[in-house]
Amino acid sequence: MNELERLIDQASEAIISSTLTLALTGAGISVESGIPDFRSAGGLWSRFDPAEYATIEAFRANPEKVWEMLAEMDKVVSAAKPNPAHIALGELERLGYLHYIITQNIDNLHQEGGSRNVIEYHGNSSTLSCLWCGKSYSARDKRGDMPPRCECGKILKPDVVFFGEPIPPDALNRSFQLASSAQVLMVIGTSALVSPANTIPSIAKQNRAKIIEINMERTQLTDSITDIFLQGKAGEVVPALVQAVKKKGGGSPLV
């Protein structure tokens, strides 16, 4: 058994014995689905200044201009499919060992991968809403229109949180409540630098949760609050972890 296998074994035992397990996910879990991190060298923010294209003020002032960036984002996100990490988390939930996912992603891939209990910090790009009359649409149904318009004639906004908009209060409150009771928190594909998601690991740790971190590289969490660091691609490590849970724990949690 190599070091990673030993750590996966250790992590699986923690998950099996936990009565409340959460996952906090970020852009890194979706990179293997073909969605580059917006902040990376080839990401959206290297071509579109977020101050110009990603604030709620910019959208209200010139939605046509903002849709130049949104159209590119939609092209990438709509082509993406859940990767083995998303699918494995969906399976872990079905088995009863994962209770909630708190995600900073807007790509709907957790839901497509089979997860039902998903708390979204930054909304979801699969639906569009009219800021003026409140009507909602499926992004898929409006994909032929650019920019997509409401029946009332106004330009629609994707249901994602723009800079300058608050995190949905229900998502915030529920995630803090869950983090304060969690026994295990898996941090996957995020360095947890962006507020307020970066407070979730600290809240969980203060309440004696075991922190399992799955990232390609070490982060600020690794040497401060992480208990078990599983280094590698989420699409490889998460399925291996779920297999270990199934092997040791069977199909239902020990609660």
Q: Which of 86, 99, 110, 122 is catalytic?
A: 122
Q: Specify the pLDDT at position 39.
A: 74
149 DSSP β-pair partners = 155
The tokens for 214 are 């799955």
- Single-letter code of the amino acid located at 246: K
Q: Specify the pLDDT at position 198.
A: 86
- Single-letter code of the amino acid located at 116: R
Query: Could you report the per-residue pLDDT of 52-88, keeping only the tens digit for each?
Result: 999 999 999 999 999 999 999 999 999 999 999 999 9
Adjacency order of strands within the sheet including 136-138: 136-138, 123-129, 157-160
As a whole number of Å, the end-to-end CA separation of the chain is 29
Q: Specify the pLDDT at position 254.
A: 46
Give the total residue count for the chain.
Answer: 255
Segment 45-48 long-range contacts (CB within 8 Å, at least 24 positions apart): 47/72, 48/72
Phi/psi region, residue 134 (left: phi>0; alpha: psi -120 to 50; beta: rest), is: left
- Residue 149 is classified by DSSP as B
- Residue 32 is classified by DSSP as G
Q: Specify the pLDDT at position 37.
A: 78
Q: Specify the pLDDT at position 43.
A: 73
Domains within the chain, CATH numbers bracketed: 1-35+82-122+167-255 (3.40.50.1220), 36-79+127-160 (3.30.1600.10)
- Residue 199 is classified by DSSP as H
Q: Specify the pLDDT at position 252.
A: 58
Q: How far is Cα 52 from Cα 34, in angstroms, rounded to an integer? A: 25
**In this structure, what is the dihedral angle of CA atoms 215, 221, 226, 231, given to the nearest 10 degrees?**
20
CA atoms within 13 A on the CB side of 136: 7
- Single-letter code of the amino acid located at 130: C
List average pLDDT for each run of 10 residues in the chain, which is 255 residues long.
Answer: 93 97 96 85 81 95 96 93 98 98 97 98 96 96 94 97 95 97 97 85 96 96 96 98 91 53
Would you say 218 and 191 are in contact if contact means Cβ atoms under 8 Å apart?
Answer: no
122 is catalytic: yes
